[in-house]
Chains A and B, each alone.
Chain A
């Protein structure tokens, strides 16, 4: 009797959505434990916690933020390719509001005197943050409008902004890299409250999203639209509004990611910020077990772990001396492994193996 229950429980564990991402994360950390000496060392310096583990958490913050938004979009059966471009736009807006001298606005006073001034900001920092997030949400609404009201395929609709977005970002900053000297703003990505401040931002985003989707009906609506928008429509859900919400929310998350990214490197570079991050975010969601292209059930925590898996792999590869440029090959290997793990053939194999183990235990 007890063996049957344990077999059933084992089945539940392997079928859990968090199983694969957690195993992946565990394998990478095991690899680090064996091959990278001192990987798990943590140090307290002036009240800040340092170490490779903290680095992983801190560097993954923008990807985690993007992955949260991307999860909701993918759950509605769509995909958002434009998040990297939205990041570039939001970052440019934030930088230009902090330091508009660069585009030649006529400002009083000596320009050279304020360069390097850690307190200088053209508009108050809260306004900068709100403006950047607002712009990101508007970009998201544009995507959502095309998908929901234009009935354009999500991949195509968001591709437009993906291509045009970087151009728009360059337009905002006149293609000039703006260095940020303001310390208050830089605190978002660089600050420490024992742990890096960006972690708290991302955690707040995760908890907020979780409450929004799991403690209100929105999560249910998102899943139902993803499974069948027609059925949702007939059962009285305003599927257009849900889709609009999903893309706007993804835009918002991209805005948060942009603020973290731009403040941590203190430079707005429209060409580099968020480059290829949309692919990382999609990969994180796929590793997390939310199915791309199908829509329906989603797992926020899975996506977050997925983003951590990507960052942990990168950090460990750097730690063992793989050059930064060859990292993409490692990422490709990761995608291939994930593909194989989630393929119907492999799933079938798992199920059969699980059943065989269960049967053996029952007969024993």
Chain B
């Protein structure tokens, strides 16, 4: 019995990374359900799909490229370009179906050009696709500098349609668990991708040219496979997926802008690696990509449910997970190499072979990986432990109050030149400040009202400074990012020289204009500080 188990393990070792991914996802999800009752809702699971259809589509393309031994950094750039180009064309009244067809064709052409650079000019995929990313991002701004909203009925229809899950929803009242059309599209793309990868000649060629540090590509060439053509086709496929993901993204957010999906190529690559595909190429399964995407979405929603951890933990946890999966793959690679040597020496299957097979668990890589994961979790514990006495148990129960923007608008109407609201943070505050031209500054945090007197000149200097930082230009824009557990959200209204503008931003928000933080820091230098709140 033991013998057959170990043999079965040895024969199916290639499934180990995939198995580990699925197990990790299941474990994390069950853990989340135990910790957070809200996650026991079926919709919480479906939301993992609903928030990430574009990422899944990107991962299908990126996964195929990585299996072929390349890498595609341009995916997020092409995605952003598609959102901007389609939004601009729709604004000009083009037929939506023509726009979709054009965008997909553009993705194919983009991929084809990069693929040709890689296949025929022998450019490193990293460099060629880097150029692709920069070109796509730059073209976005040439088309439109500001965000283009989409009002097309087809886009609205696709964004708004809910597909109810039979058995989990009530078809009469149209309430219950649902997914969106975009999720169905993404899953269909995944299915097609899996068919291509595992059941076509093209797919087998992709697997055969990846891996082996370029040796496999050489052997494939010698076997008579059309390596160059396959490479171009793989990048075309990835370009197509990126363009499709761009359309899905523009439906999801309802607009096109050059800053959309910044850095998503890294998330896609991380999801591919966590999904068990080797970055060296030639190994892994596209279905793993689905779980890679789900895990990244799960980490995000766990952090949101927790409410105490900040959103930047997402990237740290994803980094740590990547390390683990890269460790598993490296371990497998050394395992295979050892077996190969053993077989070559003709001692495979002997007692010595069995003993050797166990050794990789004591491999240094494994130890490094395990050590790092333990260190990260200990770090989380230490930080969590040190911060909890300060914030106390009450902070955990903090529910964010909605913005008091109406009140802020009234303050401005009453003569305030700046209304500034700070919301959230580890103390879960909700502070509203108003600065008047005569130098009076009032602040209200719901339980306390304080006041401070500054000079009118100071206020004028402040206003001038904010204006100089480009407050009333297009370079200062609100972002729609959601608040993380411990971050502050800022809501600032400035009225100066007859102009009035309100900008919202979130701490840790990656899309927030850099000058915004200069404004908030100037503001916090003059604003009065609240004392300890009266119990």
Partners in one complex: yes
Which of A's residues lie within 8 Å of B, judged by CB?
79, 104, 111-112, 115-116, 145-146, 149-153, 155-157, 159-168, 170-171, 174-177, 179, 267, 269-272, 279, 282-283, 286, 292-293, 323, 325-333, 335-336, 339-340, 343-345
Q: Which of B280, B310, B521 contacts A177 (CB 8 A)?
A: B521
Alpha-carbon distance A327/B124, docked complex (angstroms): 23
Q: Which of B124, B326, B365, B521 contacts A179 (CB 8 A)?
A: B521
- Nearest to B513 among chain A residues (CB) is A272
Contacts of B96-151 to chain A: CB distance below 8 A: 117, 121-124, 126-128, 130-135, 137-142, 145
A138 to chain B, nearest CB (A): 13
B316 to chain A, nearest CB (A): 4
Contacts of B61-111 to chain A: CB distance below 8 A: 71
The reply to whether A150 and B280 contact each other, CB–CB distance below 8 Å, is no
Alpha-carbon distance A170/B269, docked complex (angstroms): 22
User: Which residues of B are found within 8 Å of A272, using beta-carbon distances?
Assistant: 514
Q: Which of A104, A170, A333 contacts B310 (CB 8 A)?
A: A170
A269 to chain B, nearest CB (A): 6
Alpha-carbon distance A272/B510, docked complex (angstroms): 8
User: Which residues of A are found within 8 Å of B280, using beta-carbon distances?
Assistant: 153, 156
A125 to chain B, nearest CB (A): 21
Alpha-carbon distance A212/B332, docked complex (angstroms): 39
User: Which residues of A are found within 8 Å of B122, using beta-carbon distances?
Assistant: 343-344
The reply to whether B318 and A163 contact each other, CB–CB distance below 8 Å, is yes
User: Which residues of B are found within 8 Å of A160, using beta-carbon distances?
Assistant: 319, 322-323, 326
User: Which residues of B are found within 8 Å of A79, using beta-carbon distances?
Assistant: 126
The reply to whether B368 and A329 contact each other, CB–CB distance below 8 Å, is no
Alpha-carbon distance A341/B124, docked complex (angstroms): 14
A141 to chain B, nearest CB (A): 13
The reply to whether B319 and A156 contact each other, CB–CB distance below 8 Å, is no
User: Which residues of A are found within 8 Å of B314, using beta-carbon distances?
Assistant: 167
Q: CB of B273 within 8 A of chain A?
A: yes
User: Which residues of B are found within 8 Å of A151, using beta-carbon distances?
Assistant: 330, 334, 365
- Nearest to A157 among chain B residues (CB) is B326
Alpha-carbon distance A170/B314, docked complex (angstroms): 11
Q: Which of B117, B310, B319, B327 has the most CB of A within 10 A?
A: B319
Q: Which of A150, A155, A330, A343 has the most CB of B within 10 A?
A: A150
Q: What are 30 inter-chain pairs, A to B, with CB distance below 8 A?
A: A115-B525, A150-B365, A151-B365, A155-B71, A159-B269, A160-B319, A160-B323, A160-B326, A162-B266, A163-B270, A163-B318, A164-B320, A167-B312, A167-B313, A167-B314, A170-B508, A267-B521, A269-B514, A286-B127, A292-B124, A325-B258, A328-B134, A328-B137, A329-B137, A332-B131, A332-B135, A339-B131, A340-B121, A343-B121, A343-B122
The reply to whether B517 and A267 contact each other, CB–CB distance below 8 Å, is yes
User: Which residues of B are found within 8 Å of A152, using beta-carbon distances?
Assistant: 326, 330, 365
Q: CB of B487 within 8 A of chain A?
A: yes
B397 to chain A, nearest CB (A): 21
Q: CB of B407 within 8 A of chain A?
A: no
A3 to chain B, nearest CB (A): 34
The reply to whether A327 and B521 contact each other, CB–CB distance below 8 Å, is no
Alpha-carbon distance A120/B120, docked complex (angstroms): 58
Q: Can you list the 4 inter-chain pairs with the closest CB atoms, starting with the nearest?
A: A329-B138, A164-B319, A332-B135, A167-B315
A96 to chain B, nearest CB (A): 15
1/0 per residue, CB under 8 A from A, across B479-500: the answer is: 0000000110000000000000
Q: CB of B364 within 8 A of chain A?
A: yes
Q: A116-B525, A171-B312 are in contact. List 4 more A-B contacts (CB 8 A).
A: A152-B326, A175-B507, A179-B518, A329-B137
Alpha-carbon distance A142/B424, docked complex (angstroms): 35
Q: CB of B279 within 8 A of chain A?
A: yes
A281 to chain B, nearest CB (A): 12
Q: Which of B117, B138, B258, B364 has the most CB of A within 10 A?
A: B138
Alpha-carbon distance A283/B463, docked complex (angstroms): 41
User: Which residues of B are found within 8 Å of A164, using beta-carbon distances?
Assistant: 315-316, 318-320
1/0 per residue, CB under 8 A from A, across B316-342: the answer is: 101110110011001000100000000
- Nearest to B266 among chain A residues (CB) is A163
B78 to chain A, nearest CB (A): 12
A311 to chain B, nearest CB (A): 15
1/0 per residue, CB under 8 A from A, across B512-535: the answer is: 101001101100010001000000
Q: Which of B138, B316, B323 contacts A167 (CB 8 A)?
A: B316
Alpha-carbon distance A335/B313, docked complex (angstroms): 34
B307 to chain A, nearest CB (A): 15
Q: Which of A165, A166, A267, A340 contacts B518 (CB 8 A)?
A: A267
The reply to whether A329 and B508 contact each other, CB–CB distance below 8 Å, is no
Contacts of B261-299 to chain A: CB distance below 8 A: 266, 269-270, 273, 279-280
The reply to whether A339 and B134 contact each other, CB–CB distance below 8 Å, is no
Alpha-carbon distance A329/B258, docked complex (angstroms): 12
B192 to chain A, nearest CB (A): 28
The reply to whether A326 and B266 contact each other, CB–CB distance below 8 Å, is no
B107 to chain A, nearest CB (A): 17
The reply to whether B330 and A328 contact each other, CB–CB distance below 8 Å, is no
Alpha-carbon distance A112/B510, docked complex (angstroms): 29
User: Which residues of B are found within 8 Å of A179, using beta-carbon distances?
Assistant: 518, 521
The reply to whether A163 and B319 contact each other, CB–CB distance below 8 Å, is yes
The reply to whether B316 and A323 contact each other, CB–CB distance below 8 Å, is no
- Nearest to A343 among chain B residues (CB) is B121
- Nearest to A294 among chain B residues (CB) is B124
- Nearest to B258 among chain A residues (CB) is A325
B231 to chain A, nearest CB (A): 16
Q: Which of A155, A161, A174, A343 has the most CB of B within 10 A?
A: A174
